[in-house]
């Protein structure tokens, strides 16, 4: 599975239970939460997906493929001007 952003813990559970073998994401959840507007609205459990699934059977393989500022680009306009 390829995704623009690190899956949350609830999604990680669904990914694990569905048997998906590999997850590759471009933007870490902590970096998404650092965007202006998102910082007030993105609620994160302070456990990265890889850490949450570390006690499992080794699936899925989880890989962060950093893309630098390009990973933030699709999210900037959405979060611009968002407030509580």
Distance separating alpha carbons of residues 82 and 84, to the nearest angstrom? 7
For 28-71, write each residue's pLDDT tens digit.
888 888 877 776 666 666 677 777 777 777 788 888 888 888 88
* pLDDT of 72: 84
Tell me which residue of 18, 56, 31 sits closest to 1, measured CA to CA.
18
* pLDDT of 43: 65
The number of CA neighbours under 13 Å toward the Cβ of 51 is 5
* pLDDT of 41: 66
* pLDDT of 52: 75
Give the tokens for residue 38.
């998102």
Sheet hosting strand 22-27, strand order edge to edge: 2-5, 22-27, 61-64
């Amino acid at each position: 599975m390829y995704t623009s952003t690190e899956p949350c813990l609830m999604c990680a559970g669904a990914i694990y239970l569905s048997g998906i073998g590999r997850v590759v994401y471009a933007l870490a959840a902590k970096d998404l939460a650092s965007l202006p507007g998102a910082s007030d609205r993105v609620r994160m459990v302070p456990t990265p997906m890889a850490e949450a699934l570390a006690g499992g059977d080794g699936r899925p393989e989880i890989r962060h493929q950093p893309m630098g500022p390009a990973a933030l680009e699709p999210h900037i306009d959405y979060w611009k001007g968002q407030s509580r």
